[in-house]
Every structure is written in C-alpha cells, then in structure tokens.
Amino acid sequence: MSGAFVLQVDQSLYAPIATLTVGVLAAVFAFWGIQSQRGIARRRATLDFIMKSETDGDMIKARLRFIELSKDVNGLGPWAALDKEKTDEAQKIKLILNEFELIAIGIKRGIIDKQLYCNWFKSGAIKHWDHAEPFVNILRSRTGNNALYIEFQQFVMSIDSKRGNGIKHKIKRLLD
C-alpha cells in the first residue's frame, strides 16, 4: 500500500444495516399514517357534530329562543335568577351553553378540529358568548361555582384576538 488509508467494511453488516434502515422507514411511514388518520377522524367527528347540531329539532328551537331572548333589552342575565331556574327559557339557554361547553372540551381534548369548527362558526361562538356572559356571571355568582362554562369562555378567548391578552391570568383568578 502506498500510504492511503482504506476502510474495509465487513460485508456481513450490510444485511443488519439494511434491515434496520427498512424498519426505521416503516416506523416513520406508520407514524405518519396514524397521524394522518387521526386528523381525518377528528375532522369527520367535527362535521358529524355540526350536522347533528344543525338538524336536531330541539337544538334548533333552543338556539332560536336563545337568540330571541338575547335581543331583549335585559338580555339573558335575568334568566339566571333562582326563581327562573326551572323555566323553559333558562333551560334552553343552558342547553345552548352546554353544547358550546362540550364543543370547547372536544376541541381542547383534540376530538373536535378547532380550525374546521372556527371556519364554520367562529363569529357565532363569539356572539353567543357575548350574549351569554351576563347569564353565566350571574349563575356563577349565585351558585358560587366559577368553573361554570369556563371551557366555553376559554375557547372564545382563544379565538377572539381582541380578548386573548391576559386570559390565563383572568381565568386563574376566576377559579381561585
């Protein structure tokens, strides 16, 4: 040899290296496939939820009544009073709020696709919260439960750029 260094590789290592490479690539593709399927399933669940919400007769009636009551001069707040707790109006308001709470929890847990839902109903969710906030505040005060509809509130704060600043501090203060 004339001073050149020649690396000799044991040919018996080719098969294990090739096997390892194929295994790693298979794992990467499997992971990608699983993530892709999860995204598709989340979007499908979101569409299913939206379709059910838009076709459920009770929800449609409750939503219409919620909107009608929110246009009243006094808004929704008075319906949170103890003497109105069992009224049909208060129950319909709570039905709508419970639906939004469920949506917010679903988004937080990754079951409902936030982007798809916001593309469909972002401004509606914000407007519903604006109308419901006095009701929720009175209900929280009356029951001493500051966690009522907190997920819905946090969701709106996360999608409304005007309100997003300092929300974690405000929510923490509410729950303390």
pLDDT band at residue 113 using 50, 70 and 90 as cut-offs: very high
pLDDT recorded at residue 37: 84
> Is 94 a domain residue?
yes
pLDDT recorded at residue 145: 96
Q: What DSSP character marks residue 119?
A: H
pLDDT digits (tens, 9 = 90+) for 71-96: 999 999 999 999 999 999 999 999 99
> Is 37 a domain residue?
no
> Is 36 a domain residue?
no
Q: Are 111 and 42 in contact (CB under 8 A)?
A: yes
pTM of the model: 0.75
Structural domain containing residue 78: 44-175
> Is 35 a domain residue?
no
Listed in sequence order, the residues at least 6 apart from 80 whose beta carbon sits closer than 8 Å to its beta carbon are: 90, 134, 135, 136, 138, 139, 142
Dihedral angle computed from the Cα positions of residues 76, 73, 121 and 154, in that order, rounded to the nearest 10 degrees: -50
Q: Decide which of 28 and 11 is more confident.
A: 28
Q: Alpha helices of the chain — where are they, by DSSP H?
A: 14-55, 57-70, 88-108, 114-143, 150-159, 167-175
Domain count, the chain: 1
> Is 101 a domain residue?
yes
> Is 30 a domain residue?
no
> Is 115 a domain residue?
yes
Q: Decide which of 129 and 46 is more confident.
A: 129
> Is 38 a domain residue?
no
Residue 150 has pLDDT above 90, yes or no: yes
In whole angstroms, what is the distance from residue 90 CA to residue 163 CA? 27
